[in-house]
């Protein structure tokens, strides 16, 4: 029994007009899933049966994976009615599956099958799959190195920026000395420090931590400062009449009140620090995804470059997601304005 | 549902507040703007004094001086003969806006003062009792953005009362509430005051509110504020707004404020 007929049966017992409508809607959903499945099966067939012009590995593996995925989509379209909750969750992605299948087919046709796109600059999908299967160890090692470097730099920069921001918001004397320095150095792109940092620090790795930290610290400091400065003065009045000490005013009033701003600063700092991370890895650090990218370019290994690029974007996106999750947790008292 | 804290309160309850010849001015772009002029006023222990006057006349400034949030330009404010030189948890303020901390839930907002004074660990029962006192025991875990205006102001009241204050300073605490919530909270505040016996200073624009709640109504002139009249209201509680005495007092105060011609 199909999803459509199952819904229709339920509808008939309800209300005739509404039942017909519901059945038409779920029929459309099933048709979409079937179409997406067909596209993926078509992609598998095209990959397997249309001979490649050049020599790229892992074609059959990709074809079989695509065929299994297409088969699952078809099965989902036919029998999704038996697992309504899972079907409902998958249904949101069906249009994406369909479009992705078309995209992969087009990519395959214009690269490995017809070389419409110039080779070797645009490798086919199964060349990328080959990289993931054969070079995963080196890729994983690069990801680990990149995350380690990024986290060390980001943590150092975020902590420094946070402390500077709180001090700027709280102490006039600190502001007098720190503000001009911040205005001078802050807007300078950290990359500009690169040549100096690489010889001033004992290793290019420690220099990179410094540069990532510098990039992160500036927006975090500015936003923390503005957060502390914009705290409603009535909060201080309330706390003071209840017997709060200056330390209580800083740690229990000013900082929690400023946290929404701090997270905006952290988000900006994180985004900016990715640019420094990749540049530093390309210019001097002998590890990480930036280094992998550079190395792949040296060998004209274009499939490796695209693979590294894809992993890099997943890594950056993942780190931003983590930050947003942390924010939602820490600021759970708020109604979130921006969903990531 | 009288809390343990409030049961023991009468022993320490109330403080005498003496405002002696106080003048105060703000610095407005270099020029001094006088807001209070030679104000002298004494509130006896356990009295409920309402300060009434036109908008912007400096009543709220007077409360800030009594709370110790600012020192007066001239004159002295004393609590039981001791000059007030800074804020103290024995004198707490309930502001017009509840100003709850949005990152703390209701219970943590109420416990703010105890936490600031390092008494948090020993006063769990007291916090719960105070929450019950204002009828919010079921909202302990709620966050401020989930509360109505009246509930938020009750939390602010609980946050003040949990410190077992000798002086409760009420700066138009009901000014922004809808009229029904307002009526019920006027009665609640009076009941709390009668139970605990603290001294209360209330700033309000609402003549009826002053007459219903206070034992004394002090009428101020326009800025710079000085005292125009000091009226004792010797009426038992609960008072009724149609009480002929109170109606007569209302007319008297309206005349003092120059509003007797209005309906």
Q: Is the domain of A232 the same as that of A285?
A: yes
Contacts of A334 in chain B (CB under 8 A): 102, 145
Q: Is the domain of A19 the same as that of A140?
A: no
Q: Is the domain of A232 the same as that of A151?
A: yes
Q: What would the mean pLDDT of B228-255 be, rounded to a whole number? A: 85
Q: In the structure, what pLDDT confidence band is assigned to residue A336 with cuts at 50, 70 and 90?
A: low
Which chain A residue is nearest to residue B167, measuring alpha carbons? A241
Residue A46, domain extent = 3-117
Interchain pair B93, A241: CB under 8 A: yes
Q: Does B182 touch chain A (CB under 8 A)?
A: no
pLDDT tens per residue, range B227-238: 888 888 888 888
The answer to whether residues B110 and A238 touch, using CB atoms and an 8 Å cutoff, is: no
Would B157 be classed as within a structural domain? Answer: yes
The size of the A-B interface in CB pairs under 8 A is: 66
| CA B262/CA A318 separation, integer angstroms | 67
DSSP readout, A156-201?
HHHHHHHHHHHHHHH-HHHHHHHHHHHHHHTTS-GGGGHHHHHHHS
A125 CB-side CA count, 13 A: 23
Best probe of the B interface among A232, A235, A236, A243, by most B CBs < 10 A, is A243
Q: Does B69 touch chain A (CB under 8 A)?
A: yes
Interchain pair A238, B145: CB under 8 A: no
Residue environment code for A267-285, b if the CB has 16+ CB neighbours within 10 A, otherwise e: bbbbbbbbebbbbbbbbbb
Residue at a domain's end among A86, A117, A148 = A117
- In the predicted structure, residue B148 carries a pLDDT above the cut 80: yes
pLDDT tens per residue, range A283-334: 888 889 999 999 998 998 899 999 999 999 999 999 999 999 999 889 888 7
Lowest mean pLDDT among A143-157, A272-286, A308-322, B182-196: B182-196
Contacts of A333 in chain B (CB under 8 A): 102-105, 143-145
Residue at a domain's end among A68, A84, A117 = A117
- In the predicted structure, residue B224 carries a pLDDT above the cut 80: no
Give how many domains chain A has, as a whole number.
2
**Residue B229 or residue A65, greater confidence:** A65
Please give the pLDDT value at position A258.
94
Would A203 be classed as within a structural domain? Answer: yes
Please give the pLDDT value at position B221.
80
Would B90 be classed as within a structural domain? Answer: yes
Q: Is the domain of A302 the same as that of A165?
A: yes
Q: Is the domain of A86 the same as that of A140?
A: no
Residue B157, domain extent = 4-256
Q: What would the mean pLDDT of B144-161 be, rounded to a whole number? A: 89
Interchain pair B93, A244: CB under 8 A: no
Q: Is the domain of A166 the same as that of A273?
A: yes
Closest C-alpha among B63, B66, B56, B71 to residue B24: B71
Of B69, B104, B113, the CB nearest to A243: B113
Q: Does B70 touch chain A (CB under 8 A)?
A: no
Q: Does B103 touch chain A (CB under 8 A)?
A: yes
Q: In the structure, what pLDDT confidence band is assigned to residue A340 with cuts at 50, 70 and 90?
A: low
- The torsion of the CA quartet A3, A9, A12, A14, rounded to 10 degrees, works out to -80
Contacts of A237 in chain B (CB under 8 A): 69, 93, 95, 99
pLDDT tens per residue, range A174-191: 999 999 998 898 889 988
Would B78 be classed as within a structural domain? Answer: yes
Q: Does B163 touch chain A (CB under 8 A)?
A: yes
Q: Is the domain of A177 the same as that of A206?
A: yes
Q: In the structure, what pLDDT confidence band is assigned to residue A79 with cuts at 50, 70 and 90?
A: confident
We report the CATH number of the domain holding residue B202 as: 3.40.50.300
Q: Is the domain of A159 the same as that of A199?
A: yes
- In the predicted structure, residue A2 carries a pLDDT above the cut 70: no
Give how many domains chain B has, as a whole number.
1
Determine whether A206 is exposed, middle or buried from the number of CB atoms within 10 Å of its CB (0-12, 13-18, 19+): middle
Whole-number average pLDDT of chain B: 85
| CA A265/CA B7 separation, integer angstroms | 49
Distance from CA of A159 to the nearest CA of B (A): 21
């Amino acid at each position: 029994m199909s999803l459509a007929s199952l819904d229709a049966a339920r509808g008939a017992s309800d209300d005739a007009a509404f039942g017909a409508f519901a059945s038409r809607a779920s029929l459309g959903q099933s048709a979409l899933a079937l179409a997406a499945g067909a596209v993926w099966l078509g992609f598998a067939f095209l990959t397997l049966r249309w001979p490649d012009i050049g020599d790229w590995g892992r074609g059959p593996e990709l074809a079989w994976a695509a065929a299994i995925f297409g088969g699952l989509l078809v099965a989902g379209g036919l029998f999704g009615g038996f697992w309504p909750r899972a079907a409902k969750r998958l249904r949101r992605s069906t249009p994406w599956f369909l479009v992705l299948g078309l995209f992969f087919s087009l990519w395959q046709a214009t690269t490995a099958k017809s070389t419409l796109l110039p080779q070797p600059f645009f490798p086919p999908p199964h060349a990328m799959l080959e990289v993931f299967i054969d070079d995963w160890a080196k890729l994983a090692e690069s990801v680990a190195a990149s995350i380690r470097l990024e986290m060390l730099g980001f943590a150092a920069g975020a902590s420094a920026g946070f402390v500077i921001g709180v001090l700027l918001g709280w102490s006039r004397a600190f502001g007098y000395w720190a503000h001009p320095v911040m205005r001078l150095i802050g807007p300078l792109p950290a990359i500009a420090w690169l040549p100096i940092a690489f010889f001033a620090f004992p290793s290019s790795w420690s220099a990179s931590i410094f540069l990532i930290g510098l990039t992160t610290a500036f927006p975090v400091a500015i936003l923390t400062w503005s957060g502390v400065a914009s705290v409603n003065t009535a909060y201080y009045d309330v706390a003071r009449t209840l017997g709060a000490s200056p330390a209580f005013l800083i740690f229990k009033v000013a900082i929690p009140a400023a946290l929404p701003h701090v997270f905006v600063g952290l988000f900006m700092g994180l985004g900016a620090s990715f640019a420094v991370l990749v540049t530093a890895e390309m210019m001097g650090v002998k590890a990480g995804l930036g280094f992998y990218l550079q190395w792949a370019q040296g060998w004209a290994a274009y499939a490796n470059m695209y693979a590294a690029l894809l992993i890099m974007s997943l890594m950056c996106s993942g780190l931003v997601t983590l930050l947003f999750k942390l924010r939602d947790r820490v600021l759970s008292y708020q109604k979130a304005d921006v969903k990531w | 549902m009288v809390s343990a804290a409030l049961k023991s309160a009468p022993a320490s309850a109330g403080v005498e507040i003496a405002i002696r010849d106080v003048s105060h001015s703000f610095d407005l772009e270099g020029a001094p703007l006088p807001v209070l002029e030679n104000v002298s006023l004494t509130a006896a222990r356990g009295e409920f004094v309402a300060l009434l006057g036109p908008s912007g006349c400096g009543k709220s400034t007077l409360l800030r001086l009594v709370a110790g949030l600012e020192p007066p330009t001239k004159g002295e404010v004393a609590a039981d003969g001791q000059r007030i030189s800074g804020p103290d948890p024995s004198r707490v303020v309930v502001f017009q806006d509840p100003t709850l901390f949005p990152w703390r839930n209701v219970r943590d907002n109420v416990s703010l003062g105890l936490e600031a004074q390092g008494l948090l660990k020993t006063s769990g029962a007291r916090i719960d009792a105070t929450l019950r006192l204002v009828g919010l025991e079921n909202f302990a875990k709620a966050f401020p953005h989930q509360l109505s205006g009246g509930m938020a102001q009750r939390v602010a009241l609980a946050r003040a009362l949990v410190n077992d204050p000798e002086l409760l300073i009420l700066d138009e605490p009901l000014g922004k509430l809808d009229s029904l919530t307002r009526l019920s909270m006027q009665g609640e505040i009076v009941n709390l005051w009668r139970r605990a016996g603290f001294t209360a200073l209330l700033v309000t624009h609402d003549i009826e509110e002053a007459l219903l709640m206070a034992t004394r109504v002090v009428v101020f002139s326009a800025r710079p504020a000085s005292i125009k009249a000091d009226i004792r209201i010797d009426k038992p509680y609960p008072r009724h707004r149609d009480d002929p005495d109170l109606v007569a007092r209302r007319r008297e105060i309206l005349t003092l404020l120059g509003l007797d011609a209005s309906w």
